[in-house]
Structure 1
Amino acid sequence: MPSNNPPLPSPRRLILGSSSVYRRELLSRLQLSFDTISPDIDEAPLAGEAPEQTALRLARQKAEAIARQAPGALIIGSDQVATLDGEQIGKPGNHANALKQLQKMRGRQVVFHTALCLLDAGAPDAASRLQLVNVQTLVSFRDLPDHELDAYLRIEQPYDCAGSAKNEGLGIAIIEKIESNDPTALTGLPLIALTTMLRNAGMIFFNSSNAPYTSA
């Protein structure tokens, strides 16, 4: 018996332009089919560049780097910059640097700028090709003694995280308050903002195949 449901259009290829396991895990929550490609760009901030500008520029450059390899795809780029008193806080890389970061941030509020870009490489015009937003998160850290900060770092080893704390893990115990309109932004990929962007690009989220179909 023929179905009365209209046929779904062909799926679009969705690409996450990132090597981050945290962003990949977040995007997996949407139950969409996607590929991951690591963009090869220089992530150093430019001289005199504000933290928000750095995050937005890098998110866009990551998406644009992947677009050159994947014409017609929907490409996600994201970048995060943490700041304290206007100074950028990067990934510590090792235990000693991470401890210095946490010592500096304890009892203080840190601003995390999480920039998100959705680039539609198959868009018919420039106006609909690019969506770009910065989601700001304010994180207040607990005023903890050195031995607790040191113990936390040895347990979780968050040396690849800007700010030296994994809020999705044990790091939540050294945080006093998180203020944001997008709760996944701090982990690295603002899913509320992303789903809005994907809908703007014509994506249909709820279909039987869990594939990223679009209306066009």
Structure 2
Amino acid sequence: MESAPQQFKIILGSSSVARRKIVADMGYEFTTMSADIDEKAIRKEKPEDLVMALGEAKADALIERLQNQKHQENDAKPTVVIAADTVVVYEGAIREKPSSKEEAREFMKGYSGGHAATVTSVVVTNLSTGLRKGDWDKVEIYFHDIPDKIIDNMLEEGIVLKVAGGLIIEHPLILPYVKEVVGGTDSVMGLPMALTRRLIEGVL
């Protein structure tokens, strides 16, 4: 069955491979653009406030760049810009991307036999009307003990240095040590599908 052509354009404001895969899995056609902002310049006490502020800042940066590029609305299709941000919360502390292998190791050792949460924001803007909607989603993750050898392998591979809190649950090495995920794996990976779809519909 042929699906109806998409009635809007999507720009995903992220260079994250996982986020790209999620939007593709949702069945959308899209282009990507990276929102280069200084994330460290934005500080908030609460993780929910932080991810929303970062999501908004990314959206602002993307929209400014698109307007500077004289984004031409040649056709009747509206353009929707999606920005997102994820942080990990462990024992009440907010964790962003590890700054070193040592920090990533410390993060992962903490998850071993313990639990963490991810808080992810999604901010969707209709470029044509300026309408913007955003919200956040939280997921709890419980781990079995993670052997040191697995942590060593993950550090050697290096991918944990590129993600919030050095937390990856979909990786084949880590998957067997994930005890329970309360919420959606897509949200942990950086983009909750149901929320994203709801926000896209909300701005159109």
Q: TM-score, normalised by structure 1?
A: 0.78
- The one-letter code of the counterpart of 1:20 is S
- The one-letter code of the counterpart of 2:88 is A
Corresponding residue number in structure 1 for 2:115: 109
Corresponding residue number in structure 1 for 2:87: 81
| Alpha-carbon distance in structure 2 between the residues aligned to 1:145 and 1:12 | 47
Does residue 57 of structure 1 match 2:63? no
- The structure where helix makes up a greater share of residues is 2
TM-superposed CA distance for 1:11, in Å, is 3.8
Moved over 6 A (4+): none
Distance of aligned partners of 1:27 and 1:144 in 2 relative to their CA distance in 1, 3 Å threshold: same
Corresponding residue number in structure 2 for 1:168: 170
Superimposed CA distance per residue, residues 154-210 of structure 1 (whole angstroms, 9 cap, x where no aligned partner): 357422122324222222222211101x331001111111111222234xxxxxxxx
Distance of aligned partners of 1:46 and 1:39 in 2 relative to their CA distance in 1, 3 Å threshold: closer
- The one-letter code of the counterpart of 2:195 is A
Q: Which has the larger radius of gyration?
A: 1
| Alpha-carbon distance in structure 1 between the residues aligned to 2:27 and 2:5 | 18
Shifted more, 26-35 versus 85-94: the winner is 85-94
Superimposed CA distance per residue, residues 68-99 of structure 1 (whole angstroms, 9 cap, x where no aligned partner): 21565210000001011221122225433221
| Alpha-carbon distance in structure 1 between the residues aligned to 2:5 and 2:18 | 30
- The one-letter code of the counterpart of 1:95 is K
Distance of aligned partners of 1:9 and 1:138 in 2 relative to their CA distance in 1, 3 Å threshold: closer
SS in 2 for 1:166: coil
TM-superposed CA distance for 1:143, in Å, is 2.2
Q: How many corresponding residue pairs?
A: 190
Within a 5 Å distance, the mapping from 1:183-194 to structure 2 comes to 183-194=185-196
Superimposed CA distance per residue, residues 100-135 of structure 1 (whole angstroms, 9 cap, x where no aligned partner): 111122222211101111111222xx7xx1111110
SS in 1 for 2:53: helix
Q: TM-score, normalised by structure 2?
A: 0.82
Does residue 96 of structure 1 match 2:96? no
Q: Structure 1: 5+ residue runs without aligned partners?
A: 1-7, 203-216
Corresponding residue number in structure 1 for 2:181: 178
Over aligned residues, Cα RMSD in angstroms? 2.4
TM-superposed CA distance for 1:40, in Å, is 1.9
